[in-house]
């Protein structure tokens, strides 16, 4: 036996000296060689993830903004929708999740489990198609009210986020991103940013490799709803694996005209054009002479002269903030309510916003796939609305 071992070793040594040794079969190269190492805490958001977050679509009225039950969750979208998204040009989806799906206020460290299985099926289906997924805590107004103003409630949410992050960390961190909370509205934005930092630290402790998305506040101060200015008050966190986010719906009298929620002026606006057409805006104002606030809204729209130039000025401020701190920024909601808005104006506005975001190296997610702000028609098959592919740059 010993002679056999010596003989075998000799053969191996001789083989190593040959010019063309036979090499063993190597494992296949990864489909994307830029996938980052996720064995330790990342010092920056990897390029692969930034690219996936560059253009996406919100799948609204699914795990939030709807009556939640298993029948709805399983029936809202189909594998055909996921296939369409995969081939459409969108690189990620934003999955809004209401607090009722997982949050247990009495025991925040214990997640509700009723819908865990169906969520896992959907996450796997999307990630298997190499579609990035933003897991967005998208709570009700009452929940946010308690976050901002009920003592001790935010601490419960922080505990919840630790449990939620621990549950979700099994998913590939290159494809799943954790968004802290949709559209916070604290009267003092700095108070929100301090609280958000605590939640982000809790998430990081329990999901060390996943990219966290933090959100700008909607108010600069009480009743001053300039979300861009409020965002600019945020200071970057020490954690480098963070994406900074806000929404862009300026000006609201155009993007939300006809809406029956939010600002009570909106239901009285119909047919407002973009870019600003003073004659068109004044006609809307004159149609309701007793509605003083509507008159102010139309006057502001005219005076601000909304068009590509005005949007460029506002978006450039966001881009400058991103460059100043060398951090990635996304706008993961923008769009126009598709009800009483002139169609050509809607398309032009959306194209202007999308191209200006891209010019400033800002990622985007359009609101929304279907429903009131739709970009896709599902009435007969699945297809983009007319000219919407061009609007979105596909």
How would DSSP label each residue in 328-373?
Answer: -EEEEEE---SSSS-HHHHHHHHHHHHHHHHHTT-EEEES-SSGGG
Structure confidence by residue, pLDDT tens digits, 37-77: 444 557 799 999 999 999 999 999 999 999 999 999 999 99
Q: What is the DSSP letter of 267?
A: G
Contacts of 181 (CB under 8 A, 6+ apart): 137, 138, 139, 144, 147, 157, 196, 199, 215
Amino acid 244: pLDDT: 98
Instruction: Tell me whether residue 209 is exposed, middle or buried, using C-beta atoms within 10 angstroms of its C-beta: 0 to 12, 13 to 18, 19 or more.
Output: middle
For the ranges 12-21, 286-295, 329-338, the lowest mean pLDDT is seen at 12-21
Angle between helices 343-359 and 308-325 (to 10 degrees): 30
| pLDDT surpassing 80 at residue 1 | no
With bands split at pLDDT 50, 70 and 90, how would you rate the model's confidence at 35? low
Amino acid 355: pLDDT: 98
For the ranges 23-27, 136-140, 187-191, 356-360, the lowest mean pLDDT is seen at 23-27
Give the span between the Cα atoms of 279 and 272, in whole angstroms.
10
Amino acid 41: pLDDT: 59
Amino acid 161: pLDDT: 98
100's tokens: 């009722």
| pLDDT surpassing 70 at residue 109 | yes
| pLDDT surpassing 90 at residue 28 | no
| pLDDT surpassing 60 at residue 216 | yes
Give the span between the Cα atoms of 357 and 50, in whole angstroms.
14
Structure confidence by residue, pLDDT tens digits, 244-264: 999 999 999 999 999 999 999
Torsion of CA 77, 78, 79, 85, to 10 degrees: -40
Amino acid 43: pLDDT: 74
Share of the chain above pLDDT 70, in %: 90
Contacts of 188 (CB under 8 A, 6+ apart): 221
Domains and CATH numbers, the chain: 42-250+307-391 (3.20.20.80)
| pLDDT surpassing 60 at residue 326 | yes
Q: Where are the alpha helices (DSSP H) in the chain?
A: 2-16, 47-52, 70-75, 79-88, 99-102, 116-128, 141-149, 153-168, 189-206, 227-232, 252-255, 278-286, 292-304, 308-325, 343-359, 388-391
Structure confidence by residue, pLDDT tens digits, 116-131: 999 999 999 999 999 9
Question: Chain-wide mean pLDDT for the chain?
Answer: 91
Amino acid 18: pLDDT: 35
314: nearest Cα among 195, 232, 200, 212: 232
With bands split at pLDDT 50, 70 and 90, how would you rate the model's confidence at 269? very high
| pLDDT surpassing 50 at residue 327 | yes
Amino acid 42: pLDDT: 74
CA-angle at 373, arms to 369 and 376, nearest 5°: 35
203 bridge partner residues:
none
For the ranges 37-41, 175-179, 347-351, the lowest mean pLDDT is seen at 37-41
Share of the chain above pLDDT 90, in %: 89
244 bridge partner residues:
214, 329
115: nearest Cα among 66, 175, 184, 176: 66
Q: Where are the alpha helices (DSSP H) in 240-291?
A: 252-255, 278-286
Give the span between the Cα atoms of 374 and 57, in whole angstroms.
10
């Amino acid at each position: 036996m010993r002679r056999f071992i010596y003989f075998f070793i000799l053969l191996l040594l001789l083989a190593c000296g040959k010019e063309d040794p036979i090499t063993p079969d190597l494992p296949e190269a990864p489909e994307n060689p830029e996938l980052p190492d996720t064995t330790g805490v990342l010092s920056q958001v990897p390029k692969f993830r930034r690219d996936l977050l560059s253009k996406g679509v919100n799948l609204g009225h699914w795990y939030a903004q709807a009556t939640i039950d298993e029948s709805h969750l399983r029936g809202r979208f189909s594998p055909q929708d996921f296939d369409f998204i995969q081939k459409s040009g969108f690189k990620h989806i934003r999955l809004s999740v209401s607090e009722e799906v997982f949050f247990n206020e009495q025991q925040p460290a214990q997640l509700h489990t009723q819908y865990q299985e169906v969520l896992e099926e959907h996450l796997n289906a999307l990630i298997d198609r190499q579609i990035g997924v933003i897991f967005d805590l998208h709570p009700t107004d009452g929940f946010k009210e308690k976050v901002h103003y009920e003592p001790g409630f935010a601490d419960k949410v922080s505990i919840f986020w630790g449990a939620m992050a621990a549950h979700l960390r099994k998913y590939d961190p290159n494809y799943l991103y954790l968004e802290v909370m949709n559209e916070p509205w604290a009267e003092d934005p700095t108070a929100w940013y301090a609280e958000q930092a605590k939640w982000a630290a809790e998430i990081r402790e329990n999901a060390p490799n996943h990219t966290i998305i933090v959100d700008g506040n909607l108010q600069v101060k009480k009743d001053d709803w300039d979300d861009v200015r409020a965002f600019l008050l945020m200071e970057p966190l020490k954690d480098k694996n963070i994406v900074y986010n806000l929404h862009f719906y300026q000006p609201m009298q155009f993007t939300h005209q006809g809406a029956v929620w939010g600002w009570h002026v909106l239901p009285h606006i119909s047919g407002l054009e973009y870019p600003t057409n003073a004659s068109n805006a004044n006609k809307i104002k004159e149609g309701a002479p007793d509605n003083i606030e509507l008159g102010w809204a139309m006057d502001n729209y005219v005076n601000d002269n909304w068009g590509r130039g005005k949007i460029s000025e506002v978006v450039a401020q966001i881009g400058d903030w991103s460059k100043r701190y060398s951090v990635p920024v996304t706008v993961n909601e923008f769009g126009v309510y598709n009800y009483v808005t002139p169609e050509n104006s809607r398309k032009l506005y959306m194209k202007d916003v999308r191209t200006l975001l891209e010019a400033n190296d800002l990622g985007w997610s359009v609101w929304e796939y279907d429903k009131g702000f739709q970009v896709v028609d599902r009435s007969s098959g699945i297809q983009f609305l007319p000219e919407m592919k061009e609007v979105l740059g596909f």
